[in-house]
Structure 1
Amino acid sequence: MTTSASSPAVQLADLELGFIGAGRLAQALALALQQAGVPVARVGSRSPAGAGAMAAMLPSCVACDPQAVADQCDLVFITTPDAAISGVAGTVAWHAGQGVVHCSGATPVAVLQPAADAGAWIGGFHPMQAFGPDPQAAVRSLPGCTVAIEAAEPALGAWLQALAQRLGCAGLTLPPGARARYHASGGYASQHVHVLLAEAVRLWQSWGATEQQALDALLPLLRGTLASVARSGVAGGMPGPVSRGDAGTVRLHRQALQAVDPAMRDLYDRLCVRGVALAQAAGRLDESQVRELGRMLQEPPASDA
């Protein structure tokens, strides 16, 4: 076991890596590290069966209890559910010079303070990626994604940056206190997209179409939108009537949505207000268009029913 590193990136292959927690993220990350030439030595979990199943996926990996992971490993990833991280940090005995890192996007690194009090280096390592039930699919999706890294100890930060590089990911150094904002941003780009698509599907269903018919039409539109954002940026790639200052079409939308569900129309209004500000900041709307859209969005909507 190596417990010091004057040149952490060079010694990366010599690190004893361990996981506490054997869920989807742990399985995908451990498999990806294994394939990148950084083997995982030990895995522990509150479920011995879960630890055993994960260890069986990894050559030379030993299933054990969480304390054995901490005793034997230089770098430990805590990959339990977020609510359990502080419990693991507080009940396991850590030692000086090892890295103890959680993989939560929003949880403050400070929940690992019991490990720091024992002399361990604490940090965060969060891949901004969705982890589904198929770990191999998750492994394939990792290259190119961003990993948010937080570590006050330079040696630990160097280890984590080197691991991100081995995975083919971009290592983002996250300042203390930014984790919740960083993680919420991922919700806008992932979770909230599902909500918006659900609203769109409801509109299709209002005239008798199926969800599949709606998705067949809307997903190519979404892919084209993403491609436009990649080419032109968020504001420059924004399509639609708000970005053109087309208040007449927005008014028709509001009327139609009010007839289906006033709450849906209210959500649309709120999004349009943000869209007007975005288009204006990009120089795509003049002052008269901004005023006209603003007045119209404040009007009580008439129903087209």
Structure 2
Amino acid sequence: MNPPHDRDGRLGVGIIGAGHVGPVLGAALAGAGHALVGIAAISEASRERAHTMLPGVPIMEVPRLIELSELVLIAIPDAELPNLIEGLARAGAWQPGQIVAHTSAKYGTGVLAPAVAAGVIPVALHPAMSFTGTSIDLARLNECYIAVTAPTPVLPIAQALAVEMGGEPVVIAESKRSDYAEAIATASQFSAAVVEQSTAILAGIGIDRPGRILAPLIRSAVDNALTARGDISGLPFRELDGDLSS
């Protein structure tokens, strides 16, 4: 495995996880010129999603996928991440010099410690958006901020990957990752609850497809609230050290 500075910028990418996130980010990286060597998918639904989003990309077992990849992108549920990293380390799967990136909001690079001990380059990349697992998400990535956590020497690599995915990198310190995750979860859960309650009320008074009525209102209300807090657009590579609105 060649060190990052010896590469021409085109990486062989393996994706672990074919839920809503992994195939979309894989497609984004492929669009940026990287080569997808394979994807690990377990369920029938995830296999279908992988075939739809990444036609021609082979579905592989995880150990073989890691063996062939210069960049391993892990997009699995938070609860599964630590055991996966540690289990693959015990199996001797990780390769010195390869980049290992996960997409969890909850964790920084600390969760990758067992892989780092084997010589990998650790990166945490979390796109701050809700994924559908379809091509719609590729356009939405262009309006998305991606939380980046990595050791200082690796930050340029992590930021470049975020840009190649289509997003705007925002550096989150390792010590602030849990705060970031809390903010993301709060916004997501609140939004889902508000939409569910409002659409149920409108449906109850006989309005057909209430979401079409609420969509412009919710978007404008959120835009207005964020503007009142201070617009942070146009400020690339910002480092957030606590207050996510600063």
**TM-score of the alignment, normalized to the shorter chain, above 0.5:** yes
TM score, norm. by length of structure 2: 0.78
Contact persistence 2:23–2:50 (CA under 8 A) = yes
Residue 82 of structure 1 is matched in structure 2 by: 78
Tell me the equivalent position of 2:13: 17
Q: What secondary structure is seen at the aligned counterpart in 2 of 1:131?
A: coil
Q: Contact 2:127/2:144 (CA < 8 Å) preserved in 1? A: yes
Q: Deviations over 1:201-248 (max 9, x none)?
A: 56667xx62464865554443233234346x42389xxxxxxxxxxxx
1:149 CA drift (Å) = 1.1
| 1:51–1:64 CA contact under 8 A, matched in 2 | no
SS of equivalent to 2:39: strand
Alignment partner, residue 138 of structure 2: 139
1:81-104 CA deviation, whole Å, 9 max, x = no partner?
222212221222212111111111
1-side partners of 2:23 and 2:79: how far apart?
A: 19
Q: For residues 95-134 of structure 1, what are the structure 2 equivalents within 5 Å? A: 95-133=95-133
Alignment RMSD: 3.0
Q: How does 1:122-201 map to 2 (within 5 A)?
A: 122-133=122-133, 135-152=134-151, 154-155=153-154, 157-201=155-199
Q: Compared with structure 1, are the counterparts of its residues 94 and 153 closer, same or farther at alpha carbon in structure 2 (3 Å cutoff)?
A: farther
Instruction: Give SS of 1:6's match.
Output: helix
Aligned-partner SS, 1:233: helix
Q: Is the 8 A contact 1:21 1:79 kept in 2?
A: yes
> How far off its partner does 1:114 sit?
1.2
Give 3-state SS (helix, strand or coil) of 2:21's partner.
helix
Q: Are the aligned partners of 1:42 and 1:61 in contact in 2 as well (CA < 8 Å)?
A: yes
Measure how far apart 1:78 and its partner are.
Answer: 1.1
Counterparts in 2 of 1:66 and 1:49: CA distance versus 1, 3 Å: farther
Task: State how far apart, in whole Å, the 1-side matches of 2:108 and 2:158 are.
Answer: 17
Aligned length: 227
Quote the residue 1:248 is aligned against: none
> Counterparts of 1:124 and 1:202 in 2: how far apart (Å)?
37
| Structure (1 or 2) with the larger CA radius of gyration | 1
TM-score computed with the length of structure 1 as normaliser: 0.64
Cα pair 1:48 1:64 within 8 Å, conserved: no
Counterpart Cα distance in 1 of 2:103 and 2:202: 39
1:37 aligned partner:
33
| Conservation of the 8 A alpha-carbon contact between 2:51 and 2:57 | yes
Per-residue CA deviations over 1:1-31 (Å, capped at 9, x if unaligned) read x5302277xx321x21111112221111111
Is the Cα–Cα contact under 8 Å of residues 121 and 153 in structure 1 kept in the other structure?
no
SS of equivalent to 2:229: coil
More helix, by proportion = 1
Residues in 1 aligned to 2:47 and 2:220: alpha-carbon distance in whole angstroms: 42
Kindly indicate whether the alpha-carbon contact (under 8 Å) linking 1:74 and 1:98 is maintained by their aligned counterparts in 2: yes
Q: Aligned-pair distance for 1:72?
A: 1.6
- Residue 176 of structure 1, CA deviation: 0.5
Gaps of 5+ in 1: 237-305
Segment drifting more, 104-113 vs 44-53: 44-53
Please tell me whether the aligned partners of residues 108 and 149 of structure 2 are also in contact (alpha carbons under 8 angstroms): no
TM-aligned CA distance change 1:219 to 1:51, over 3 Å: closer
- Secondary structure of residue in 2 paired with 1:42: strand
Contact kept, 8 Å, 2:146 with 2:167, in 1: the verdict is yes
Encode CA deviations 1:273-294: one digit per residue, 9 max, x unaligned. Answer: xxxxxxxxxxxxxxxxxxxxxx
